[in-house]
Amino acid sequence: MSLRLQVNLIITTLLGIFASLLIGLQIDNTRRSVREEILGANVVALQLLSRVAFVYESSGLEGMREFLSRVGRIRANEIELYDNQGQLIYRSPSPTYKSGREAPEWYSGIVSPPLAPKEINLPTGRIVLQADPSRATLDGWDGLRPMLWMVLAGFVLGNALVYALVGRAMRPLHRVVQGLRSMAQGDYGTRMPAFSGREGRLISQAFNGMAQSVQDSALARRQAQEATQALAENRELTQIIQARIEQERGVIARELHDELGQQVTAIKSVGLAIARRAAGKDASIEQSARLVMDCADQIYDGVHRLISRLRPLALDRFGLRDALQDLLDDWRVRHPEVALHHSITGLLEGLDDALSTAVYRIVQEAVNNALRHARASRIDVHVQVSAECLQLDVVDNGTGQLEQFPASGRFGVLGMRERAQALGGSFDLDQIEPVGVRVRVSLPITRQQKEAQIEGDAGR
């Protein structure tokens, strides 16, 4: 049911109640008037007939009938004369006022007063006086009928006028409904004109404000979707670039190890041969050869460190567990004053190269930051592998502060975060009281990695 029809039904009901009240008041007034008139006429007739006993005494019942015939009809009363045997001797004539017409029975039942007949007893008969409100009731009906037609006409015309006015007043709502339908179909540029009236202006302003908010929200949502898609593409590109970088680093590391390492070994071997030949013969040549051998050792050590920074060969040959162990052992040798502890729980076998490389590089960067920038004296590295994810925590007791990490030139934290997010994981930095920083990384394990871990566990 439409709102317009509901409002019209409410107003129709109120008009009907008002019209019923008017008709009820009119009928009640008529009923009171008829009752007063009938009671008065009946009392007058009763008093008149009660005073005519001399007519009966002089002429008997026949004289009484003659008298009543000459009196005729008394207003609003029916007179009947009976003898001792109950036979009707006389009845007053029918009324001539509006003869042939009667008010409806339902109306007469409402308006006519219920008056019992009155009797005047005579020695040889009786007179029965019955109140007759039919003419007064008919007068009331004739007065009510025009009013009924006026009320009916006013009721119909009022409803028609109300229906038209309500439709005109609710025209802005139809425009609003059309606007909402347009917005539901995706036309967020829909706007309402300025309607007439205070409420109309408020409706148009509220709708336009809502439409603008929806349009802005849809635009922001679309921009967010585009940004999310661009971020996903950037992370995928970052992962591809990092994989390519690690691949090139591996190639360079192998080239340095195979080519430059052999050349340095050859230089050291030649220097050793020259030193042996010059031993005891030419001290300057022997010293120069020893110097060449020392330089070759330094070059070899530098190449070895460079190779470990480019690509840990242990990661490709022995896996993540041994690579991390080798990395941490190397730091223990170079920084004996730092208490470096680590724990690895779960299976690291079967992890793909991207995940293993990310874990290795994040551990490398986090420990390096704790040693170089935070001057930590204790570093704890924890790696825990479950069926769903790999959890990495690097905790130090250094002097690092979180507000210092975004400083210009600090790309280590950004690199760790990018590596974690590129694999769909999370990266968090937490300040530890009283001193220290915790690096927490959570990386999801794919189905292929789970299957590989299960196969590795079964192989064991």
Bond into 172 cis (ω within 30): no
HSE-up of residue 59 (Cα within 13 Å, Cβ side): 10
pLDDT in tens, 313-367: 667 777 888 888 888 888 888 888 999 999 998 888 778 888 888 898 899 888 9
Angle made by CA atoms 438, 238, 236, in degrees to the nearest 5: 110
pLDDT in tens, 395-418: 999 887 777 665 544 557 888 888
Residue ranges and CATH numbers for the domains of the chain are 3-169 (no CATH), 315-459 (3.30.565.10)
Predicted local distance difference test score (pLDDT) of residue 108:
83
Predicted local distance difference test score (pLDDT) of residue 383:
93
What's the pTM? 0.45
Predicted local distance difference test score (pLDDT) of residue 409:
46
Sequence letter at residue 182: S
Inter-CA distances, 133 with 36, 69, 95, Å: 10, 21, 11
Residue 308 has pLDDT above 50, yes or no: yes
CA distance linking residue 173 with residue 202, whole number of Å: 12
Higher pLDDT pick, 68 / 326: 326
pLDDT in tens, 99-157: 888 888 888 888 887 878 888 887 888 888 888 888 888 888 888 888 888 888 888 88
The residue-averaged pLDDT of 69-78 equals: 79
**309, burial (CB in 10 Å: exposed 0-12, middle 13-18, buried 19+):** exposed
Q: What is the chain's mean pLDDT, rounded?
A: 80
Residue 455 has pLDDT above 70, yes or no: no
pLDDT in tens, 179-213: 888 878 878 788 888 777 777 778 788 888 888 88
The residue-averaged pLDDT of 263-290 equals: 81
291: Cα separation from own chain's centroid: 80
Min mean pLDDT across 26-30, 129-133, 149-153, 244-248 is at 244-248
Phi, psi of 101 (to 5 degrees): -120, 145
Q: Which of 133, 143, 109, 136 is nearest to 25 (CA)?
A: 143
Length of the chain: 460
Helix (H) or strand (E) holding 47: helix 3-50
